[in-house]
Every structure is written in C-alpha cells, then in structure tokens.
Structure 1
Amino acid sequence: MLALAMGSAGAADLAAQPPAPLVAVGRHGIAYDFGHQPTVTSVAAGDSRLVFVAEPLGQAVAVLDRYTGQQLGTLPAPPAGWLLPFSLRVPREGHVVVLDSGGFPSPTVPSIARVYDYDVQYDERSHQLTATLTRTVSFEGLPLVFAEDVEVTSSGLYVVSESIIGALWVIGLDGTISYGAFPVTGVPIPALAPCEFLPTTVGGIPFATAGNFGPGVVGLAERGGQLYFSTTCNGGVSRIPMASLTDATRDPQARAADIVPVSPRAAGVAAETLHGLAFNPAKPGEHWLYAVDSLQLRVVRINTDNGSRQVVVGPDPVLFNFPSKLQFLPPVGGRSPLLVASDQEHRLPSINAAITEDLTQPPWLVTRIHLFP
C-alpha cells in the first residue's frame, strides 16, 4: 500500500512538472532548448548576463536571463515604436544594436530601415531593467528595400545587408551612412543580387517563395578585416575586405570585384541558404565560421581557409525549426555557447507560397549549443 501511494503521488508530481528538455547531440556539439517564445523569433544574442531576442511579428525585443532562459522584460521601444525588429548584435557588455527593417517589402508602403543603439543595465537586487537609446541611424531617403542583417565589425563600423536590390551598406563611427557595394549602374552585382529560387522541401514540407524569388545577400559576419556574407540566391559563403567597402578611389559597383567565394553551394544542391553567420569570440584565431543551414534544419561550420564544411548538430526539426540566425554569447567561465533562433518560416503561408494554412508549432525556440573541445 505504501508503495502504491508513493507511486500515485509520484505520477501526480510528474504530471505537474514541465516537459523534459529537448536535446540533440552532434559530432561537434550538444544542443538543447533554452528559450520558449510565444511568437516568431528571428535572432538571439547576449552578454554575460542577458540575452536579447528579436520578435519581428510581435514588434518586440525580449530580454531573457542568460542562465535560465526566463524572460525578464522587454527592451523599451524607440520613439517611433518597433516596426519589424529583425536582427541584432551585442558587441560589448550592456550594449545592444538592433536592426529594425521597417516592415516587409511593399509596393505601396516603403519600409525605412533603422539601426538603434541601446545601453542596457539590469539590477540583480531590484530585478529592474533599464535601457537608454543612445543612437538612431535612419535609412530614410536611401535606395534600400529590405534590410536583412547588421554586423558590428572589429573596427566599430556597422554593415547592413540589403537582400532585394543586393547591396552592402556601411555605417560610420559618426553614424553617417555610405554605399559599401551597390549596383550604381543599375546592373545587379551577381555575388549580392537576388535571382530565381528553386522550390524545395524543408522537413517534409514543400517550400517555395512568392514568385520564386531568391533573396540576395542575407547573413553577415566579420573577422580580421574580412566581411563574410551569405546569399539565398547563390547559396554558400563569400567574403570581401572591409577596406574594399570603404575604398574612396572606386565606386560602389567596382568594389564588388574584390568579392571571392569561400564555400560555394555544392554541385547538385538546388537551393541553399546559410541565413545566419557567426564567429566564436572566445577563439579569435579560429578559422571556423558557424552558419545555420536553414533548409536542412541544422548548424554547420565552414573552414574559411579551404571552404570545407562540417555538421555541428542536426538535422533536428524541433530544435532547428527553420533556423534563421545564430550568435555566440561571450565567454563566461571559459564557456561561450551558441544561440540559434528558429522562425519556422517554412510553416508560415505568408512566406511559404507552397502551403495555404498555418503550420506553425508554438512556442518558437531559442536553442543553445555547447561546442565540444
């Protein structure tokens, strides 16, 4: 009887407990669910204490505890409000850079991208989150249709990728915007431009874009004065020296001649988008560039010396439910985990033209990866 009573109580306690953590083990890392967000998430990045999560459709930037994944609050909106917070970086402790794309591309309502800089503090005793908007950079009046990503470079310059025209923009230390690589002649730059996207299947779900449009340059990551970028149109990863993007002796179209492939899309692969890129800040001399392989539902790393690739973790349709972007957290206690946000865009009929009903699976996960030595 005692054993039976204990068994019943144990079952009740078990039923009241949260579900067991999701775990996936790969050859080069172990992944588990870290954050559970109620709406679409596009990117997560953080510092030694906080994690910031962009929620574009929820028009919010959530703030999570780095160690528990619990939400502590939200980043206060800028005076104009959030329109489509799409990407972000945390270049140093307590400093957050948010790219608000200004809305999805529309033929009637122009989307004006803005880049916001915030200084953020969190008081452990009062549990109060305070944030100060220190700079706003607006692309109003400039030929930018949709901004996909922002990178804060080692020199302090920011780079913004534009995926509809196919361009790279540079934000100077003083906040001025300049053309980095841009088709000033009207002739698209092949390495950056959009093209036709071949329909494919993602996790068993047919996937196609409206008009079979394959976006141009999307993901960005910089190391050692080299800007690495990915495109959905071409797949793979290429790079260009930052010195080329700021070369005043050449026009922005001519600068693109310095783009070289790093790891091209493999022969026989019809479609590929390595939508997010990141280097490990804890290993500044490392040649591995980490990337989300969105269509294959996995995380890979690319040898920037020879272009070879390795699968880190995946495929996993739950932990990497169309992974969109990834960023490393700064090292604490010698550990620098990788955060991966998944936006489930293959399950959204507003993005996936091959489906007619919403197939999303709430919540939207932020996955944490600990790399093996």
Structure 2
Amino acid sequence: MNGLSARTGRERPARAALTRIFEPGDERAGRWLREVGPVELMRRLTVADGSAETLKGMTATRLSGYRLRASTADPERDLSDVAGVGGRFVCPGDPEWPSQLDDLSDARPIGLWVRGLPDLRLWALRSVAVVGARACTPYGAHMAASIGAGLAERGWVVVSGAAFGVDGAAHRGALAAGGATMAVLACGVDVAYPRGHAELIGRMVEQGLVIGELPPSEHPTRSRFILRNRVIAALTRGTVVVEAEYRSGSLVTARNAQRLGRYTMGVPGPATSGLSAGVHELLRGEGVLVTDAAEIAELVGEIGDLAPARRGPVLPRDLLDPVSARVLDALPRRGAMEGRDVARTAGTSTDEALGRLYELHSLGFVEREADGWRLTVVRTRNGGARRGDT
C-alpha cells in the first residue's frame, strides 16, 4: 500500500466506513483489507456483483450481516462528527499513525478515532500502560496513582482504559503531576464511558489524548472491552498490572503484551488478597516485579534510566571500621569489661583495643566504668533503654 494513500482520495472515508461495519480485532476482515485494500473491500460489501463471495472465509450469513451494517454507514457524517468535537481519524500510512500497532498484523485497527492535540505517534513512542481492577482496594488505587504520577514526572505517557479503579487512579496521578496521559476507549471517542468519568475524560481531551477504534456515538460491549486491550498492549512499551483477579481483563492486556514482545510487569500485593492473585500468577511466569515508577522506567527506558539503589537505613555503627566494630561487639550487653579482656575477645592487642575504646567513647558508643568499659545506655522515647544500638 502506498504510504500516502491513507491520507488522500477515497481511502480515508472507506476506512471510516469499515470501522462501523467490522468489529475491532476482526482478523478475517484484516486479511481482506490487506489483500484488496479498503476501497475495493467497501465496494464488494456494498455492490451485489458476486465479488464479495470470492473473499476467503466469506459466507452468506456473514455477508448479510456486513451489508446490513454497510447500509447505515455514513463515513462523511462520522468524519464530520468527530471533527465537530475537535477530533480526527488517523489511518495506517498517516504520519501520526503509531507503527507499533502494525505488530498486531491482521488484527491491527482499521483506523483510530482521536481527540486531543498531541501527536499520537510521538506520544506512543514513550508510553507505558497501567491497568488493573475496577473494584480495586485503597492500596491498589494508591499504587496506581503513585506510579502514574512518577512515570509522568519522568516524561512517560501513562496509557490506560479510563475505567473505574486502577485505570482512573493512574490517569489522575499523571494529570496531577502535570504529565501526559492517554485513554483507549471501547466506545466512540465522543461517548463518556463510564459516565462517572465524564469529567476525567474531558480533562484528558484537553490535556492529553483519547482514542478508540469505534466510530462516533458507538457504545461499548463486553467483547469490545476485551478487544480494546490488545491496542493498549501494542501501543505501549510495557504493561504494568496493579491489581487483578485470576479472571481479569487486565491479565488479557498483559498476555497480549507478552505475545507482542513488550515488557510485562506486576505490582505485588498481600498474598491473602484475591485482587492480587492474578498479579502474583503473572509474576510467577514471565512478569517482572515492580514497586514504583523508577523501577518501571529502568526496565522499559533507555540507558541511564536507572532506579536508585535499594537499601535499608544506615545506622551509625555501620560506619565503623572492621576493628572498631569487633571491639564494640566484644563488650557484653550488661556490665563492664576490662580493656585486656576486650582485646582478647576482639582478637587484637591491648593497646589497639584501648585506642579503639577511646575512639568509641568519643563517638558515644561506650562509657568508662571504674577500670572497665561498658556499652552506652540509650534512652528510648517510651522511657525504655537499649545498649549499643546507635
């Protein structure tokens, strides 16, 4: 196919019409589209000259259903309607088309209806999907929002499905950080679904992107939600699942990402939580455990996107040299010990032990008691005491 043909002539209206005739992800339709092109395919579906019957896999029942839908298709009206809400229709071959969607082969979208000012292709180049349960826990919502904000602060586009729960939290986290976020809908881009997220979707139209495969006014169905997930997986560099049960659409997105060679990540949760069971199953396979945006960026990013080193708090005694640490360890938890006995226990000379004890005294680790040495007693906030733990 000529790279310019998607942007000129009759191909764009033909593709727009076909989005109203075929369901998203229809690989049979994708094969026909590849073999005969959108204009010829549209002609065969609307002209009763017998040419449609020559398409491999076409049956009389299928053709009847396609023609019924084709009879109501009005691509010029759909293109006008999406333009009326500030949108556009992006086709394969357009400069704005994200070429990574071509990895879906015959299941790639016929085209994408888009609302929002940013360039879809450029945003998709540096994007990460954050998906999870609709009925998420407060922990899941917190993690999704934190990851969304952290990725946005690092210059990544946060992609999700605008659903309740994890999706909405990830979008809001990115928006709160003043970053970029994109919603992939299972309905027309002029339809606010779910209705409870009408304001959120409106903010994404103004500050980000809202995209979908279905033409204006189309409403979602159960199958369309599942098929939408393949677009989320293909569009992004990697998919992060925050919370998901064993049977979850989020895991469908993750499995699509794995098949496409994208990074697949999971945020662990309590082992007793059913909402984390699907994530843990993912992590037992090829999924990578992540806990924050830094770890995600390190995995999917370029050289230099390194997460900070992880370690516990540094205690004052961690900074002691090995000999001083041995001398300190030689002192008993209770009572005092003479320097000669400290040296024997620490495995050093008496002079060396005494020199280290005086250093430890100046640092507040030990105290003199008559002719001996003992650990300093440290008072805790609740009035208790501990020895030598500073």
Q: TM-score, normalised by structure 1?
A: 0.23
Larger radius of gyration: 2
Higher relative contact order (CA 8 A, sep 6+): 1
Return the structure number with greater strand share. Answer: 1
Q: TM-score, normalised by structure 2?
A: 0.22
Return the structure number with greater helix share. Answer: 2
